[in-house]
Amino acid sequence: MGLIRSIKKDFNTMTWVLIPVAIAINVVVGEIVVLLRLPVYLDSIGTVLVAVICGPWAGALTGLLSNLIWGALIDPNALPWFPVALFIGFVAGWCGRFGLFKSWWKVIIAGILIALTSAVVSTPIAVYLYGGITASGSSFITAFLMQTGHDIISSVLSTNFLVEPVDKITTAMLAYAIIQGLSIRYISRFPRAENVEVGKKGNTTTQIIIAIVVAAILVVVAATVLVTMLAG
Amino acid sequence: MRNKLSFYIDRPSPLHRLNPLTKLAVTFAFIIIAFSAPWYWTSAVLFVCAIIPIAFAGKIGKEFIRAGINLMLPLFAFLFVMQSLFHPGGDTVLFHFWFLSVKAESISFAFLTTMRILVMVSSFLLVLLSTHPSYLMNDLTQRGMPSTLSYIVTSTLQIIPQMQNKAGTIVDAQRSRGLNTEGNLGQRIKALLPLIGPLVFGSLVDVEERAVALEARAFNAARKKTSLHEIPDTTWENVLRWVCLILVVVSIGSNIWLS
């Protein structure tokens, strides 16, 4: 009974109306990122947003439908990855429940947790459906690891651990920045408004700048690790 | 940014007239058989002898091939080259190239994977080309799927084009105010927030109003909702769906039995 009540709590009319908008945010922000040629995807900001203010079940549903709709409208190649999107929403929701979306440095932890989940869930899909090499550019790292004698699973997994954090931490940060920009009155209409503290301290601009700096540092770190790996 | 949303092509054909659930069942049967059947050539045969004829029977052959080439050719070229070069194992070396070597086993593995993905993506493509998303939702709702889910899907289909237009306007507006969207990486990262900020907040504002409007129209009512369109379903389609299920079970079973 606890489970059903927990699921039901996530969904009120505001949730049902927010989910389509969140999916559209995923799609359109994803397109803007492609337009700007940034080295990230940022295609789950809406999912994380729903997960935090509506709960893990709503987040999982948003991720799932977002992926299915992405596959149906833009690229059917996205369809087999639906479990990844689903778990991103689910884990982001639990991060919200445990208070990880209350200040910007906790959001980084949430981003890392989401990234780890996404890496673990996408590995079996990449291995069993695609034999390890997928359409993304990071497959060169996988190929390199496979060539240097690692087996497929560990190559794919370490590639994902290398690539995912940058994307998912930035995603979580942007979702946090969006939540900080909303009014208390607005957020309080969603089922899990208690997951966030709006307008507590500091202003949004500083936090966004910090977020960008952190993301930039992570890009540099990931690049350094990559270079050392290629050299060693 | 993107002119045409959804792959759907409206055209009278036997494939278009099929019940959406039948098409989904056949699609999933194709995919599971392609990935589970023990015979090496299964997916290639499925593609040539089933998927391509179905596309032409559905009068969407031309669009099917065009969309297939656009979506899959670059991916497959990449997959095939990468896998034949890097797939570990195998010792029948065909030729050397710099420090890389191409092995017969890698080539056969690459062929298997690309054929399976081809079956997967192209059979989804068949459904998407011949079925309007809201038609599919309508059918699933009549079969007992919660109507809130079909609300999400159909309203997303309406919101995305609106938001794409809005995004286009915002990109133009910010560019005309001097925002650099084509500079170096730093400048492009800086351009991200001024673009997505107005877009996201603008679209979140509408949410509250829409929720009130829906509540006023008994969105949460627990009674069964009636539908304007009845979607036809025939006995033989029902039989066909059961046949699909049996084929899938046989395919998975033979995979387990033979391994």
The predicted structure's pLDDT at residue A24: 94
Residue A33 CA to residue B196 CA, distance in Å, equals 9
Residues 40-79 of A with CB under 8 A from B: 45, 65, 69, 71-77, 79
Lookup result for tokens 């915002």? B170
Tell me B97's DSSP state: E
Say what the pLDDT of residue A23 is.
Answer: 94
Per-residue tokens: A221: 């770190």
The token pair at B178 is 């001097």
CA-based nearest distance B134→chain A, Å: 12
Rounded CA separation A154/B88 (Å): 13
CB-based contact A142:A211 (threshold 8 Å): no
Q: What is the pLDDT along chain B (259 residues), one digit of tens a residue?
A: 344 567 788 888 888 888 888 998 999 999 889 888 888 888 888 888 888 888 888 888 888 888 888 888 888 888 888 777 777 666 666 666 666 677 777 888 888 888 888 898 888 888 888 888 888 888 888 888 888 888 888 889 889 988 999 999 999 999 899 888 887 888 888 888 889 889 999 889 888 888 888 888 888 777 777 777 788 888 888 899 999 999 999 988 988 888 7
- Specify the pLDDT at position A158: 83
Give me the average pLDDT of each 10-residue run along chain A (232 residues): 81 91 93 84 92 94 93 82 94 93 86 91 87 74 78 83 86 90 89 82 65 70 67 55
**pLDDT of B109:** 83
pLDDT value, residue B3 = 45
ipTM: 0.81
* Adjacent-strand bridge partners of B93: B103
pLDDT for the residue numbered B1: 37
Contacts of A206 in chain B (CB under 8 A): none
A-chain residues near B181 (CB < 8 A): 35-36
3-state secondary structure chain A: CHHHHHHHHCCCHHHHHHHHHHHHHHHHHHHHHHHCCCCCCCCCHHHHHHHHHHCHHHHHHHHHHHHHHHHHHCCHHHHHHHHHHHHHHHHHHHHHHCCCCCCHHHHHHHHHHHHHHHHHHHHHHHHHHHCCCCCCCCHHHHHHHHHCCCCHHHHHHHHHHHHHHHHHHHHHHHHHHHHHHCCHHHHCCCCCHHHCCCCCCCCHHHHHHHHHHHHHHHHHHHHHHHHHHHHC
Around Cβ B14, how many Cβ atoms within 10 Å? 11
Q: A181 touching B, CB under 8 A?
A: yes
Location of structure tokens 């032409």 = B56
Beta carbons of A58 and A15 less than 8 angstroms apart? yes
DSSP designation for B69: H
pLDDT digits (tens, 9 = 90+) for A183-232: 888 899 899 888 888 766 556 667 667 766 776 777 677 667 766 665 55
Instruction: Test A13 with B214 for CB contact under 8 angstroms.
Output: yes
Cα separation, B128 vs A78, in Å, equals 14
Distance from CA of A99 to the nearest CA of B (A): 23
* Chain B residues inside the 8 Å CB shell of A177: 193
A47 contacts A61 by C-beta, under 8 angstroms: no
Q: How many CB atoms lie within 10 A of CB A105?
A: 10
Q: Give the Cβ contact number of residue B13 at 10 Å.
A: 14
Query: Global pTM?
Result: 0.84
Secondary structure letter of residue B230 according to DSSP: P
Q: Do A13 and B215 touch (CB under 8 A)?
A: yes
